[in-house]
Structure 1
Amino acid sequence: MKKIDGRIVAKRIHQRTKETIERAGTTPGLSVILVGDNASSRLYVGLKEQAARDVGIDFKKFFYPSDTPEADVVTQMRVLNYDDSVHAIITQLPMPKHINENNIIQTMDPAKDVDGFHPDNMSMYKRGGDIHKPVLVRAIMALIYETEEAISHKKAVILGNSTIFTDPVRIALEREKVHVKVFAPTPQTIPEETKNADIIITALGRPHAIGKEHVKEGVIIIDIGITKLAGGKVVGDVDYAQMKGMNGFITPVPYGVGPVTIEMLLANTVELMQKKLLANA
């Protein structure tokens, strides 16, 4: 299979975002709230910060210890809501179990919801309203477009256990006239429908759950699943090695969806800034 290298796609988006900020003459502000000591979350925030600063975004971090009361996080969110220098906010997930993530997200000003998680924004997106696409959806679609394959009237299977993920992706594909089926498979199972799918998007977090016996020649595979094995190696839901020699396209893990997701986060930040400038003009 041909590799869809997320680093190459990300580099193009990064340069485009940088040029847009330079032309705008205004510095976008992006803030992140992180609660706890999750090593992966801190790594992701660091990668976002590095990319944001390079394109010219003012990136601010608000880190809290694991035992921080939910009320304190809500207070910080409200402060950011009223800070005019902040155009976009990230709530880095997951948060500690005693914090209701939905409450935190709903406290956010929808106009600063860069990820697209706020219920108001999700509802507007589903209705086809004037709203930016969720970051992950933008990344997935960019990687599919990178193949330059026609996808209209093709069959897609989405594998995932969260409707926060599957619903927006399904909608984006359906708007491209793709026939979509969504599955939340039980552990150790992969639905038979993957064998006839032209596009497979998987976010199960089950290492090497999908082998060559589950896919057909010519398929486009977007692998969002990520698992760190005992030896430290990071792998996806798809057994990448088994796909060699087959026809089709596949995103590697790592360096597939991840880099593009970060760059789409920055692109959404710039869009939110531009909307605010237009509203205040």
Structure 2
Amino acid sequence: MADRIDGRAVATTIEDETAEKVQAYAKRNGQAPGLAVVLVGHDPASEVYVAHKIKKSAKVGIRSYEHRLPEDTSQEDLLTLIARLNIDTNVHGILVQVPLPAHIDEGAILGAINPSKDVDGFHPVNVGRLSTGTGGLVPCTPLGVLKLLDTVLDDLTGLDAVVIGKSNIVGKPIAMLLLEREATVTVTHIETKNLPDICRKADIIVAAAGVPHLVKGYWVKEGATIIDVGITRIPGGNGKDRLVGDVAYDEVQHAKAVTPVPGGVGPMTIACLLANTVQAAENLEAMRKLNAPA
């Protein structure tokens, strides 16, 4: 029977540590770090995510600045808001909830955020820092994946890792993080041939394809560690939907450990967002002190 990696428990530990850092920061600076959350339109999933982020921010003591904009907000107006948040000294982290409406260029918006305040880790500067191992703010979900692996594996050096999915949000960043930890990484995608054979050689599988129950039991060797990033809503019993991951959970119980869906990676994403916000605030604090007159 595979060990169940409890993302909720690990996330709670991170939140407790973040709350302590928030208190220490507020004691030094007279106020807690501030996170600006921008939501354009009324996408139901985005509404839920934003509500969770604001609730969790309050729990750890981070100040939230919520900006809800109508669906027809122009790209120019959104860029104007971001420019204002970039120079607002009360704001240490900026999060623009995606997806954005079709008439707005998502890349232009994310690229306009000050990299020092980019708590999602999506700005090209932070992506470049991650790929070169030179610091920067790390995307929240990949960071959460790494922290979950660390609860199971003492050392990733030399382990064979397979990342299923090459998205800029999860697949590529987690591959970079695993490489930084000296794992041997294979990134697969929709055109990959013989995916089951590739996975059967892996010590670590990170499934982030968004395909329900893609990873079958016979794909997984005994003793592997599996992180399931996928989450899809499918019809369940009694007319209710249920959430499932990319991994056929019941079939992979010969693995060393596996994350459930829900309750695995999901809670870690928000916990790491909060940690990134405090990290951004501390980085800006250090820069301010460095630039202060002697």
TM class by shorter chain equals over 0.9
8 Å Cα contact 1:206/1:236 also seen in 2: yes
- CA deviations 1:117-143 (Å, max 9, x no partner) are 000111122122232322222201100
- Other structure's SS at 2:235 match: coil
Q: Which runs of no fewer than 5 residues in structure 2 stay unpaired? A: 290-294
**Residue equivalent to 2:267:** 259
Q: Is residue 91 of structure 2 the alignment partner of residue 71 of structure 1?
A: no
Q: Secondary structure at the match of 1:208?
A: coil
CA shift, 1:188, in A, is 11
The Cα of 1:189 is off from its aligned counterpart by 7.8
1:49-64 correspondence runs (5 A): 49-64=54-69
Equivalent residue for 2:172? 167
Deviation at 1:206, TM superposition (A): 0.7
Q: Tell whether the 8 Å contact from 1:198 to 1:220 is kept in structure 2 after alignment.
A: yes
Q: In the TM superposition, what whole-angstrom CA distance separates every residue of 1:29-78 from its partner, at most 9, and x where no partner exists? A: 00111112211111111111111101110012111222222112111111
- The offset of 1:109, in angstroms, is 0.9
Q: Which residue in 2 is equivalent to 1:234?
A: 243
1:19 aligns with 2:20: yes
Q: CA deviation at 1:191?
A: 4.4
Q: Does 1:133 find its partner at 2:138? A: yes
Picking from 26, 35, 42, the partner of 1:37 is 42
Secondary structure in structure 2 of the residue aligned to 1:182: strand
One-letter identity of the residue aligned with 1:258? G
- Structure 1 Cα separation of the partners of residues 73 and 192 of structure 2: 34
The whole-number CA distance in structure 2 between the counterparts of 1:257 and 1:38 is 22
Q: How does 1:185-264 map to 2 (within 5 A)?
A: 185-186=190-191, 190-231=195-236, 232-244=241-253, 246-264=254-272
Q: Which residue, 112, 120, 123 being the options, matches 1:118?
A: 123
- After TM superposition, the runs of 4+ consecutive aligned structure 1 residues lying more than 3 A away are 186-191
Q: 1:87 corresponds to which residue?
A: 92
Q: How many residues align?
A: 280
Q: Contact 1:110/1:120 (CA < 8 Å) preserved in 2?
A: yes
Contact kept? 1:89, 1:113, Cα under 8 Å: yes
Query: Residue 107 of structure 2 aligns to which amino acid in structure 1?
Result: N
Which of residues 100, 103, 116 is equivalent to 2:105? Answer: 100
Runs of 5+ unmatched residues, structure 1: none
The normalised TM-score by structure 1 is 0.95
- Alpha carbon RMSD of aligned pairs, Å? 1.7
Q: 2:279 aligns with which of 254, 257, 271?
A: 271
Which stretch shifts more, 155-164 or 228-237? 155-164
What code does the residue aligned with 1:104 have? I
Letter of the 1:2 counterpart: D
* Letter aligned with residue 234 of structure 1: L
